[in-house]
Amino acid sequence: MTLPKSSSHLILPVSDFDHCQGSPTAKFTLIEYGDYQCPFCRVANDIIPSIQQQLGEQLRFVFRHFPQPHLHPEAHHAAEAAEAAASQNKFWDMHTYLLQHQSQLSDSYLVEYAIALYLDVDRFLAEMASDCHVARIQTDVDSGVQSGVVKTPTFFINGFKYGDEQYLEKLLETIVQSSCE
């Protein structure tokens, strides 16, 4: 299979497969490709709720995995933990835990987080051991590569790559301006 040339447009449209907060009919869709050990993703995680609060029903937020194991050796396993939590309807809770505890992502901590979130720990451990979520994560990574993602966080606003990740505080302004274009 030949992959499409990378671009600055989102290649894989948002679907029910994605982890979304907000209405599918929202005026703005903000997609983040992130890595649970990336310190800039942690900063983004602190900013996104403010943007969500300010835009309310006008915003749908989507998170896609883009672990970078060459930089962050525990990021992929953390993404698997997020997916194992998702299978118990606790993706966003685990997502927040992982980003808030980036320096503590070893297996023992992941189990602690599962317990704290009242997950079925036996199921969580079985899913983590089976690698059953690896393909799901790889789908996100592949779609990111096809869309031109090379680092985290990378954002797309209504399908177009946001080019100023170093200025996350301007993200809200850029989202609102995108409606004028």
CATH of the domain at 124: 3.40.30.10
58 C-beta neighbours (distance < 10 Å), count: 15
Maximal CA-CA distance, the chain: 50
Per-residue pLDDT, averaged over 121-136, amounts to: 97
User: What is the pLDDT at residue 168?
Assistant: 67
Which distant-in-sequence residues (6+ apart) come within 8 Å of 5 by Cβ?
none
Q: Are 155 and 173 in contact (CB under 8 A)?
A: no
Per-residue pLDDT, averaged over 143-151, amounts to: 94
Per-residue pLDDT, averaged over 16-42, amounts to: 96
Residue 5 forms part of a structural domain: no
In percent, how much of the chain has pLDDT > 90? 83
Q: Are 96 and 53 in contact (CB under 8 A)?
A: no
Domain that holds residue 148: 19-178
Cα separation, 110 vs 77, whole angstroms = 9
User: What is the pLDDT at residue 163?
Assistant: 75
Residue 11 forms part of a structural domain: no
Instruction: Tell me the one-letter amino acid at 160.
Output: F
User: What is the pLDDT at residue 141?
Assistant: 98
Q: Specify the length of the chain in residues.
A: 181
Per-residue pLDDT, averaged over 128-148, amounts to: 96
Strands (E), the chain: 19-21, 28-34, 59-65, 154-157, 160-162
Q: Are 140 and 65 in contact (CB under 8 A)?
A: yes
Residue 9 forms part of a structural domain: no
Task: Tell me the average pLDDT of the chain.
Answer: 91
Domain total for the chain? 1
Inform me whether the pLDDT recorded for 3 exceeds 60: no
Residue 2 forms part of a structural domain: no
User: What is the pLDDT at residue 177?
Assistant: 77
Backbone Cα Rg of the chain: 16
Per-residue pLDDT, averaged over 72-92, amounts to: 97
What confidence tier does 179 reach under pLDDT thresholds 50, 70, 90?
low
